[in-house]
Amino acid sequence: MRVMAQMAMVMNLDKCIGCHTCSVTCKQAWTNRTGTEYVWFNNVETRPGQGYPRTYEDQERWEGGWTLNRRGRLQLKAGGRLKNLLTIFASPKQPSIDEYYEPWTYDYERLTSAPLQEHTPVARPKSLLSGQDMAVRWSANWDDDLGGAPALTQADPVLQKVSDKVKLEFEQTFMFYLPRICEHCLNPSCAASCPSGAIYKRSEDGIVLVDQDRCRGWRKCVTGCPYKKVYFNHRTGKAEKCTFCFPRIEVGLPTVCSETCVGRLRYIGLVLYDADRVLAAASEPDETKLLAAQRSVFLDPDDPEVQRAAEASGIPRDWVDAARRSPVWALIHRYEVALPLHPEYRTLPMVWYIPPLSPVVDVVRETGEDAEDRGNLFAAIEALRIPVEYLAELFTAGDVAPVTAVLRRLAAMRSYMRDISMGRDGDPSIPAAVGMSAAEMEGMYRLLALAKYDERYVIPTAHAEQAHSLEELATECALDYEGGPGMGGSGPFGEGSGRGFHNDPIAVENFHMLAQRQTTDTVADPATRKARVNLLNWDGKGVPPGLFPPRADEPGEGPGLREPDDAAAPAVVQPRPVGGAEAGPAGAGTEPRRDGGTP
Amino acid sequence: MTTLATHPFAAAAAAAEVTTADVVLWVVLPYLFLTVFVLGHVWRYRYDKFGWTTRSSQLYERRLLRWASPLFHFGILFVFLGHVLGLGIPKSWTRALGVSDGLYHLMAITIGTVAGVSTVVGLALLIYRRRTVGPVFRATTRMDKLMYLVLAVVIALGMWNTIAGSILNLGGHYDYREGVSVWFRGIFRFDLHPELMADAPLGFQLHGMAAMFLFALWPFTRLVHVFSVPLGYLWRPYVVYRAKARTTPGTRPPRRGWEGVQRPKEHVGPF
Ligand code: SF4
Ligand code: SF4
C-alpha cells in the first residue's frame, strides 16, 4: 500500500444555473493573456450539447485517454510511444482552432472615431488571430441553453450513443449544465503523452501541472487528454492547463471557480488513495466496472491501518485529519452520490459530479403531480429513460444502475426533508428505502443543501516547513522581486521569451498584469496586440485611456463626438437616459419624465 | 605570413600554399562560429528556458502542415544522417567494411536525393504557408525570417552540390570525402586543413560557409528545439511525479539566510 493524497472536487449539478461566473473568473485569473484568448480552463457546457471543444467526447475521432490493447494492457488510445514520437511533427489528432473557436474582439474604436454620418457606426468583430474582419460562427458555449437545437444538439457524441436505443423526443427535451475543469486524474493521459516529461503530478496533492520551462510545444498532451483540458498557448508555444489554483490551495483557499460559484455547488477536499492500485483499476476490462474499480483505489482515512500507512508515506497528520473531514470523500464514499465523468477514458478523473435530479423533477412537475413525493419521483426515475441513460453515458460508461441509485437518494432526500421543513416528523422509511439512516440523510442534506463554506472546502494548507517558500505566506513582501515579469510584448525569440518569464511568482505576475491593465490599455486595435481593450481585461477600476472619447474641454484628436464649433449648439452632446437622474420606482432613471425633457 | 609563425596553426598554414584569407575563412571563422554555437546554447538555456520551444503553429493551420512538416522534418533527419556519414566517417572506414566507393556513392546520391527533395518540398510548402496564412505570418518573428532565409540558402546550396556536383558532375568530378570531409573532421581534431576548403568548388565553399553561419545563428532561433528530441520518452514511466520543490513555479527560493528551520536527517542504521 502506497498512500497518496489527492486534492479533488465534486460538483453538484442540480444547483448549477449555467451563469458562467466560474468560467469568467477563472479566465480573469489565468487565461486573460495573448495566446490564450480561446482557452477556458473552466467551461460550462449545456447538455445535451457538443461541448467545448466541439465533440471532444468522441474518442474514436480524437483518440484521447487510454484504451486496452489486444493483450489487455493499458495503452494510450492515440497509439504507443513510438507512434507518438513519430507523429511529433504534425500531431494528427489535435483539434484545430475551429473546434475551439476563433477568438475575437470588437473594433470598439469605430464607435467613437467614426465621422458624423447618417448611419450608426458598428463595431465589427475582428479576429484575434489574424486581425481581420471575421464572421463569428462558434464560441466556447455557442449551443448554450440548447441554442441551435436540435440541429447542433444532434452532434453531441453522448446523445448519439443514447439515441440509438431511445428515440429522442424533443418536445420532452431536458437539459442541464456541466461545468468542467481539468480532472487532475490519478492516471493522467496528458502526462503520459508528453514526450518531454513536462507534465507532472505533484506527489503531495496530486495536482497536475505543466512545467513551462520543460514544455517544448510538442502538443501531444492536447491529444492525450480525453477531456481536452490541456490547451496550446499559440503565442508562447507552450501547453497550459488548469492549475487547480495551486497558489490558493497551498494556503488553504478554494479555487477561484469554487470561490465565485454562484450556486455554491463545488466541494473541495482530499481523498487518500493507494497508488499501487491505480494501474490495475485503470486496466479493468469491463468498462461498466470502472466506476467500482476507481472507488476501490480510494483508502478510507478513518481506517487506523490507512492512517498508519499514510504517516509512513510522509503524509502529515493534519492532512489525514483533513481527509477524514473531506466533503469530497463524504459525497463519494459515505453518501455515494458523486460519480466520475467518463470513467471509460480510464484516466481515473478526480473531479466528480452529483448527477442532476432536476430533469426528472421538472417532468413530474409538468404533469401536475407532486414533484416532491417519493413515489412519483422514484417512478419517474424508472420511467424516464432519456435523462437516466444520458447521465449514465456521462458518468458510468452506460450503466444505469449507479445513476438510478444516486437519483433515488436525491429524490428520497427531497421528500424526506420536505416533511421536516413542513414541521412534520421525518418518515424513517424514506431513507431506509435508499439504504440510508435518517442521520445520514440529514447529514447529506446539510452538506448538499445548506452547503456551509467551511464544510464545502476542507483544504489543509501546505506544510509549515515549506511555508517560507510559499509566495502568499512569504514574510517578505511578495513583490520585492527583481526585474518584475515581462508581461506583454515580445522577447527576442518570440512572445514571452527571455528572463522576465523565468520562474515568476504567480501573484507577482497577476499584480503586474493588473497594474498594466489599469494603466496601459488603449483602444481596441487588433492590429497591435499590445493595444487592446478586451473588456474581459477590465476590472472596473479606472478608465482605460481611449475607452471614451475626449471630453469637450480637452483637446481631442480625430473626429470624435466633439462639440461643434457653432456656439449656438448645446454645450453637451452626451445622450442621457430617458428618465434623467431622478429616482423612479425601481431606482434611478426608471420613470419616464413627463415634462418632455429632451434626452 | 610572418605573423603566423608563432601561431599554433602555422604548421598547417605553412604546409600548403594558403593565404591569410583562407585561414580566416576556414580556420578562424569555423572556430568562432562553433564557439558562438556552444556558448550561445548554454546562454540561451540559462537565460530563456521558457522560450525554448518548437513554437508550433498547428493550431492556426493544419492542412498544409500535415504534409509539409513531416516531409521537411523526416527529410532533414535523413539529410543529417547523410552528413554524419559523409563528413564524419573516413573513406578508409567504409572501405574496411567492404563498401566500395561506387556503392557508397550510389547510396549517397539516391538516398540523399530523396531526402533532399522531400526537405526542399517540405520547406517550400512551409515557407509558403508561413507567408500566406495570416495568423502564421503574424506569429513569425524577425529571427524566424532570418533563420528561414539562411536555412533555405544552405539547403539550396546543398541540393545544388548534390545535383550539379555529384550527379551531373558539372565542372569535373569532386570527391568531397577527400576534401571537405577531411577539413571538417580536422576542425574537431585540431588537424587543420584550410587548403582543402580553399581548393573545393565554389558550391561546396558557399554551402559550408552558409551552414557555419546557420550554426552561429542556431542558438538564437527556434532551431534550438532540435536539442529537445524527446528520446527519453521511449523509456521513462508514463506518469511523472514530482514533489513540490523550492523551484516550483509559483514559489520562490527563500533568501539566503532565511531558509526555514529544517530537522536534520534522522539517524538510521547501526553507526
Ligand atoms: S483531465 Fe487534466 S489530468 Fe486528466 S488527462 Fe486531461 S489534462 Fe490531464
Ligand atoms: S458559477 Fe457555479 S452556478 Fe454558475 S455556471 Fe459556474 S458552476 Fe454553475
Q: How does DSSP assign A58-74, residue by residue?
A: -HHHH--SEEE-TTS-E
User: Are A77 and A213 spatial neighbours (Cβ–Cβ below 8 Å)?
Assistant: no
Give the burial class of A37: count Cβ atoms within 10 A of its Cβ; 0-12 exposed, 13-18 middle, 19 or more buried: buried
User: Are A49 and A59 spatial neighbours (Cβ–Cβ below 8 Å)?
Assistant: no
Q: Is A351 in the pocket of ligand 1 (CB under 6 A)?
A: no
User: Are A78 and A86 spatial neighbours (Cβ–Cβ below 8 Å)?
Assistant: no
Q: What is the pLDDT, as a whole number, of residue B38?
A: 96
Per-residue b or e along A301-318, where b marks 16 or more CB atoms closer than 10 Å to that residue's CB: beeeebbebbeeeebbee
B267 and chain A in contact, CB less than 8 A:
no
CA distance A388 to A474: 50
CA B106 distance to own-chain centroid: 25
Residue from B58, B144, B247 whose CB has the most chain A CBs within 10 Å, to mutate: B58
Q: How many CB atoms lie within 10 A of CB A160?
A: 16
The closest alpha carbon to A121, from A560, A599, A578, belongs to A560
Residue from A469, A499, A511, A525 whose CB has the most chain B CBs within 10 Å, to mutate: A469
Q: How many CB atoms lie within 10 A of CB A170?
A: 11
The closest alpha carbon to A174, from A12, A356, A313, belongs to A356
Q: For chain A, what's the residue count? A: 599
- Nearest 5°: the CA angle B65, B67, B72 is 90
Compute the distance from residue A47 Cα to the ligand 2 centre, in Å: 14
The atom number, within ligand 2, closest to the CA of A260 reads: 1
With residue B14 as reference, give the H or E element that holds it: helix B10-15
Q: What is the pLDDT, as a whole number, of residue A519?
A: 54
pLDDT along chain A (599 residues), means of 10: 95 95 93 90 92 93 94 92 92 91 90 88 90 91 85 81 58 81 96 95 93 92 96 92 91 90 95 95 94 96 95 91 95 96 96 92 84 87 80 93 94 92 91 94 94 92 53 39 39 50 51 57 41 50 62 53 43 39 40 40
Task: Locate the chain A residue with the closest alpha carbon to B72.
Answer: A89
User: Could you say which residues from 151 to 210 on chain B have a Cβ atom under 8 Å away from some Cβ of chain A?
Assistant: none
User: B53, A204: Cβ pair inside 8 Å?
Assistant: no
Write the residue in A97, A216, A468 that is nearest to B53 by C-beta.
Answer: A216
Q: Is A185 in the pocket of ligand 1 (CB under 6 A)?
A: yes
B213 and chain A in contact, CB less than 8 A:
no
- In angstroms, the Cα distances linking A102 to A94, A96, A130, A136, B60 are 15, 10, 10, 8, 9
CA distance A80 to A62: 15
Task: Locate the chain A residue with the closest alpha carbon to B239.
Answer: A192
For residue B76, pLDDT beyond 70 = yes
Compute the distance from residue A13 Cα to the ligand 2 centre, in Å: 9
CA distance A95 to A91: 10
User: Could you say which residues from 29 to 68 on chain B have a Cβ atom under 8 Å away from some Cβ of chain A?
Assistant: 44, 47-60, 62, 65-67
Q: Is A320 in the pocket of ligand 1 (CB under 6 A)?
A: no
CA distance B22 to B147: 26
- Which ligand is closest in space to the CA of residue A144? 2
Residue B198 grid coordinates: 580553399
Shortest-distance Cα residue to atom 1 of ligand 2: A261
> Taking CB atoms and an 8 Å cut-off, how many pairs form between chains A and B?
198
* pLDDT tens digits, B217-269: 999 999 999 999 999 999 999 999 988 754 443 445 666 666 666 666 565 55
Q: What is the pLDDT, as a whole number, of residue A580?
A: 39
With residue A309 as reference, give the H or E element that holds it: helix A304-312
Contacts of B199 (CB under 8 A, 6+ apart): B179
Q: What is the pLDDT, as a whole number, of residue A584?
A: 38
Distance from CA of A161 to the nearest CA of B (A): 29
Distance from CA of A470 to the nearest CA of B (A): 5
Average pLDDT over residues B174-197: 88
CA distance A303 to A301: 5
The C-alpha torsion from A357 through A359 and A365 to A371, rounded to 10°, is: -10
The closest alpha carbon to A5, from A430, A264, A458, A314, belongs to A314
User: B234, A91: Cβ pair inside 8 Å?
Assistant: no
Contacts of A571 (CB under 8 A, 6+ apart): A552, A563
Q: Probe ligand 1: pick from A194, A347, A348, A351, max atoms within 8 Å of CB?
A: A347
For residue A503, the chain B residues in CB contact (below 8 A) are 247, 249, 252
For residue A66, the chain B residues in CB contact (below 8 A) are none
User: B52, A216: Cβ pair inside 8 Å?
Assistant: yes
B247 and chain A in contact, CB less than 8 A:
yes
Compute the distance from residue A26 Cα to the ligand 2 centre, in Å: 11
Q: What is the pLDDT, as a whole number, of residue A253?
A: 87
The atom number, within ligand 1, closest to the CA of A229 reads: 7
Residue B177 grid coordinates: 570525402
Alpha helices in A434-483 (DSSP H): 438-445, 453-456, 464-467
User: Could you say which residues from 72 to 131 on chain B have a Cβ atom under 8 Å away from some Cβ of chain A?
Assistant: 72-74
For residue A475, the chain B residues in CB contact (below 8 A) are 258
Compute the distance from residue A10 Cα to the ligand 1 centre, in Å: 16
Domain coordinates of chain B in residue numbers?
A: 8-227
- Which ligand is closest in space to the CA of residue A19? 2
Q: What is the pLDDT, as a whole number, of residue A190?
A: 96
Q: How many CB atoms lie within 10 A of CB A578?
A: 12
CA distance A288 to B145: 54
User: Are B125 and B68 spatial neighbours (Cβ–Cβ below 8 Å)?
Assistant: yes
Residue ranges lining ligand 2, Cβ < 6 Å: A 16-22, 44, 177, 179, 261-263, 265
Compute the distance from residue A401 Cα to the ligand 2 centre, in Å: 28
Shortest-distance Cα residue to atom 6 of ligand 1: A225
User: What are the counts of helices (DSSP H) followed by strands (DSSP E) for chain B?
Assistant: 11, 1
For residue A213, the chain B residues in CB contact (below 8 A) are 49-50, 52, 249
User: A214, B240: Cβ pair inside 8 Å?
Assistant: no
The closest alpha carbon to A260, from A24, A99, A507, belongs to A24
Q: What is the pLDDT, as a whole number, of residue A355?
A: 94
CA distance A159 to A179: 18
The closest alpha carbon to A420, from A392, A393, A441, belongs to A441
Q: What letter represents residue A38's amino acid? A: Y
- Determine the CATH number of domain B8-227: 1.20.950.20
Q: What letter represents residue A545's amino acid? A: P
Residue whose C-alpha cell reads 513531416 in the numeric block: B70
Compute the distance from residue A9 Cα to the ligand 2 centre, in Å: 14
The pTM score is: 0.79
For residue B69, the chain A residues in CB contact (below 8 A) are 89-90
Residue from B56, B66, B123 whose CB has the most chain A CBs within 10 Å, to mutate: B56
User: B54, A94: Cβ pair inside 8 Å?
Assistant: no
Compute the distance from residue A256 Cα to the ligand 2 centre, in Å: 12
Q: DSSP for A380-426, please give it.
A: HHHH-HHHHHHHHHHHSTT-HHHHHHHHHHHHHHHHHHHHHHTTSPP
CA distance B37 to B220: 9
The closest alpha carbon to A371, from A386, A390, A358, belongs to A358
E strand spans, chain B: 240-242
User: A94, B59: Cβ pair inside 8 Å?
Assistant: yes
- Which ligand is closest in space to the CA of residue A27? 2
Give the burial class of B10: count Cβ atoms within 10 A of its Cβ; 0-12 exposed, 13-18 middle, 19 or more buried: middle
Compute the distance from residue A127 Cα to the ligand 2 centre, in Å: 28
Q: What is the pLDDT, as a whole number, of residue A174?
A: 79
Q: Probe ligand 1: pick from A189, A194, A202, A342, max atoms within 8 Å of CB?
A: A189
User: What are the counts of helices (DSSP H) followed by strands (DSSP E) for chain A?
Assistant: 23, 19
Q: Is A230 in the pocket of ligand 1 (CB under 6 A)?
A: yes
| Largest interatomic CA distance in chain A | 89
Alpha helices in A129-241 (DSSP H): 157-163, 189-193, 220-224
CA distance B147 to B220: 9
The DSSP code for A234 is: T
Residue from A91, A100, A216, A251 whose CB has the most chain B CBs within 10 Å, to mutate: A216
The atom number, within ligand 1, closest to the CA of A230 reads: 7
Handedness of CA A346, A351, A352, A358 (dihedral sign): negative
